[in-house]
DNA sequence: TACATCCTTACGGGAAACCGTAAAACAGTA
DNA sequence: TACTGTTTTACGGTTTCCCGTAAGGATGTA
């Protein structure tokens, strides 16, 4: 089993249970960080000391409080860690259940397993850790296997996300076109953007832009 | 200390820790429900057996899954329980931190304490339970005391919430006016509604309706 | 090169939002 | 009743959205 494991999780109510689960799996060194920045520091320190971590278990969303942090989400944390220690195994333990988000975790960040927090998640987490240790990859908690089969969201690309983000900030079509031009994103004609928004409205069955953003917010796309 | 306590919490990763905390407080009977419906049944059963619960610790949001449920949130659960056992003490343990929501929990549902899940929430939860047992009421976890002082959201009334809800469903002004007329909500002139939306836009510093709904979604108002 | 196809952009008309102003309805007070 | 102030409603002009059509441009193929 893994020897040295780092848990990045802000809620004490959850990290305590995760630590217990790791003990039951006979992990000898279990460390814990409540902030992404702290987690990153621990990883770097361990590399420097030539005693790197074998496994990272990370949440995705961290509460913001008075503290100023450089890394503010599990996504950012994992991306940063992969740069300094590309071979570290990673298990994400989060409430997020949008296929779009999870897919990008595997594809863009190269995580090894994803376990959704839920009614029976601790046994699943244990199983996932065991699986990653046995060099299985792309492990997904039971209830999510069907979610990823759902193709509905895969077709939404980063372009659409950028578009929805700007819309939700209150920009009008022309302003979005200008923003895209400045960012080098194409297509950036206001007419094309209009067309793309229309596609999204049809896709999500939205009556108008307001409705569209409400749906996008519900799906966690923006 | 309380003798018989029910914990309504869907995540196993959290309920385990909460149960441990209750043990440390010397609670003799600790029961647990993963679904609101189950929690409600246990409460009713206990009343029937003349062995009612002393305290309810409840989450607010519950994951939806394959199961069909009548009660789908902590709000609904508490409201239902208060009808059959008005004197039960209630502690809400949730991630929700919007002052608007928490205020209504105290005022409309008559809960006794609110503890926000966070980096140091288990000690706070213990303290809150102790406080409720000593007949203190309106207990709020530390980090939230300032949040409720923030008056910014108190002025938003149910009228505004209804309005934002309909907007987020993609209805246009005239449709909203019609809906309000049918529901007996006043004012319901499309002009008045327009004015009210404008006030909300100023209040939330929104550029347009799309922006407004994005903000409302972020604040958890709709 | 010629043709077909797809993607991007342009344009125009009608609907809805946006914004200010003013009239009408209502409540409180003398 | 008359006066005052507030709330609700009505109206008009401008901007933006919405939606269809069509022109321009790039790519692939015979």
A17 CB neighbours in chain B (<8 A) are 12-14, 16-17
Q: Is the pLDDT of residue A82 over 90?
A: yes
Q: Which residue has the higher pLDDT, A50 or B156?
A: A50
pLDDT, residue A202, reads 87
pLDDT, residue A149, reads 54
Question: Does A65 sit within 8 Å of B119, measured CB to CB?
Answer: yes
pLDDT, residue B145, reads 63
Q: Is the pLDDT of residue A161 over 90?
A: no
Nearest to B75 by CA among B86, B89, B59: B59
Question: Is the C-beta of residue A192 closer than 7 Å to nucleic acid chain D?
Answer: no
Contacting residues for A94 by C-beta, under 8 A, at least 6 apart: A59, A60, A61, A74, A114, A116, A117
As a whole number of angstroms, the distance between CA B10 and CA B33 comes to 7
pLDDT band at A101 (very low <50, low <70, confident <90, very high): confident
Average pLDDT score over chain A:
89
As a whole number of angstroms, the distance between CA A30 and CA A4 comes to 6
pLDDT, residue B219, reads 80
Sketch the domain layout of chain A as residue ranges.
4-149, 158-218
Question: Does B13 sit within 8 Å of A18, measured CB to CB?
Answer: yes
The token duo for A157 is 């690309």
Asked which of A6-20, A89-103, B138-152 is least confident by mean pLDDT, the reply is: B138-152
Mean pLDDT of A17-38: 96
- Give φ, ψ of A23 to 5 degrees: -60, -45
pLDDT, residue B57, reads 97
Divide the 222 residues of chain B into consecutive groups of 10 and give the mean pLDDT of each group: 96 96 96 97 97 96 89 94 96 84 82 92 94 83 60 66 91 92 87 91 90 89 80
- Answer left, alpha or beta for residue B205, where phi above 0 means left and psi between -120 and 50 means alpha: left
Of the partner residues B118, B143, B207, the one whose CB lies closest to the CB of residue A11: B118
Q: Is the pLDDT of residue A145 over 70?
A: no
Third-level CATH fold of A4-149: Rossmann fold (3.40.50)
Name the helix (H) or strand (E) containing B215.
helix B209-219
| pTM value surpassing 0.85 | no
């Amino acid at each position: 089993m893994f020897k040295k494991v780092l848990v990045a999780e802000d809620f004490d109510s959850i990290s305590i249970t995760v630590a217990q689960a790791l003990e039951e799996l006979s992990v000898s060194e279990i460390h814990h960080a409540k902030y992404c920045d702290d987690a990153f520091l621990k990883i770097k320190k361990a590399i420097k000391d030539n005693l790197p971590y074998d496994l990272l278990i990370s949440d995705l969303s961290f509460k913001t409080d008075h503290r100023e942090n450089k890394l503010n989400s599990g996504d950012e944390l994992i991306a940063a860690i992969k740069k300094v220690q590309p071979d570290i195994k990673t298990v994400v333990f989060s409430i997020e259940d949008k296929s779009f988000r999870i897919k990008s975790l595997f594809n863009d960040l190269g995580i090894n397993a994803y376990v959704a927090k839920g009614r029976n998640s601790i046994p699943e987490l244990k199983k996932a850790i065991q699986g990653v240790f046995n060099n299985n990859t792309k492990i997904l908690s039971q209830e999510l296997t069907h979610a990823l089969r759902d193709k509905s969201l895969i077709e939404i690309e980063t372009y659409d996300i950028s578009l929805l983000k700007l819309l939700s900030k209150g920009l009008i079509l022309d302003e979005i076109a200008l923003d895209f031009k400045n960012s080098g994103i194409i297509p950036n004609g206001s007419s094309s953007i209009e067309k793309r928004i229309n596609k999204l409205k049809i896709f999500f069955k939205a009556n108008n832009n307001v409705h569209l953003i409400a749906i996008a917010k519900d799906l966690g796309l923006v």
